[in-house]
Amino acid sequence: MPRHDFRSPRLYVDAPLSQGASVVLDRDQANYLGNVLRLSSGAGVLAFNGRDGEWQAEIAGRKRPETLTIVGQTRPQDRLGDVTYVFAPLKHARLDYVVQKAVEMGAAALHPVITRHTQVSRLNLERMTANVIEAAEQCGILSLAAVAAPTPLARYLGERDARRLLVFCDEAAEIADPVATLNGARAGATGIDVLIGPEGGFAEEERELLLRQPHTLRLCLGPRILRADTAGVAALALVQATLGDWAGPG
């Protein structure tokens, strides 16, 4: 795998990237590069668009950064593992945290679901997408996680691909070794959905509906009750370490 450059600023651009191409910066990007980072014409940055890999680029502009000139590719495009983070939305800053951490942990898609005890009924999908981009910029990630519109839990379960493994994190489950439990589910999955419920937990009828789903793994996250945002990070870490890309290729 090509070595990451952690020193150069990284910028997501919604434009095709190829050697010699010129990319026009929007106002926020120009302000970030010129006024926040104090970079001027000729300075180097890394650019990516989620499709064409990562590229070395040079800032151009007379008085402030206006465009990027694409110089050469530093890393080819990769692809995230087929892991979807399914979660009951939280409020404000904690939702921002959940989105950022799910991206850092390698989730390829984020799917909010509305449960009986969900405290948030409306979501700002533009803000969620902005948090996805910011996390990818900061962590060297080349692929952007897809952001789905929120759906009721029952509808989500009715529409999802039943061939995928549903890892259902349940505070009411019996305490057991989660690594051994996940290792036992290696065979047959075409993708993984990691489901974290709301702060008030799942209603009993929701739990019964989940337990009736095919290819479902009920997982306990230890002897302590975790906050929903903490539970998401813990569950994704376990899944990536046992079934995901932390163990390397193959």
Tokens of 226: 């975790």
Which residue in this structure is represented by tokens 């095709």?
16
* Cβ count within 10 A of residue 247: 10
Please answer whether residues 18 and 52 qualify as being in contact, where contact means their C-beta atoms are separated by less than 8 angstroms.
Answer: yes
Which position has the token pair 């969900």?
A: 118
Give the CA angle between residues 119, 97, 125 to the nearest 5°: 65
CB 178 within 8 A of CB 219: yes
122 Cβ contact partners less than 8 Å away, ≥ 6 residues apart: none
Closest CA to 239 of 189, 196, 179: 179
Is the predicted pLDDT of residue 129 greater than 70, yes or no?
yes
Least confident range from 8-12, 81-85, 189-193, 227-231: namely 189-193
Domains of the chain plus CATH, in order, are: 10-75 (2.40.240.20), 83-247 (3.40.1280.10)
User: In b/e form, how buried is each residue of 178-191, taking b as 16+ CB within 10 angstroms?
Assistant: beebbeebeeebeb
SS3 (DSSP) at 39: coil
- Residue 156's pLDDT is what? 96
How confident is the model over 17-46, as a mean pLDDT? Answer: 94
Phi first, then psi, for residue 44 (nearest 5°) are -100, 145
pLDDT at residue number 84: 97
pLDDT in the model for residue 1: 44
Pairing of strands 83-87, 109-114: parallel
The DSSP 8-state label assigned to residue 245 in this structure reads G
* Full-model pTM: 0.91
Q: What is the pLDDT of residues 157-189, one digit of tens each?
A: 999 998 999 999 988 888 888 898 888 876 656
Q: Say if residues 102 and 232 touch (Cβ distance below 8 Å).
A: yes
**Mean pLDDT, residues 178-206:** 86
pLDDT band (50, 70, 90) for residue 249: low
For the ranges 58-62, 132-136, 208-212, 243-247, the lowest mean pLDDT is seen at: 243-247
Q: In terms of DSSP bridges, do strands 165-169 and 54-60 run parallel, antiparallel, or are they unpaired? A: unpaired
Rg (CA), the chain: 20
Give the helix ranges, DSSP H, for 13-68. Answer: 27-31
Q: Check residue 3 and give its pLDDT.
A: 64
pLDDT tens digits, 50-67 = 999 999 999 999 888 999
Q: What is the pLDDT of residues 91-116, one digit of tens each?
A: 888 999 999 999 999 999 999 999 99
Measure the CA dihedral 211/95/99/15, to 10°.
130
**DSSP H or E run through 136:** helix 125-139
- Both structure tokens of 150: 């929120």
pLDDT of 153: 96
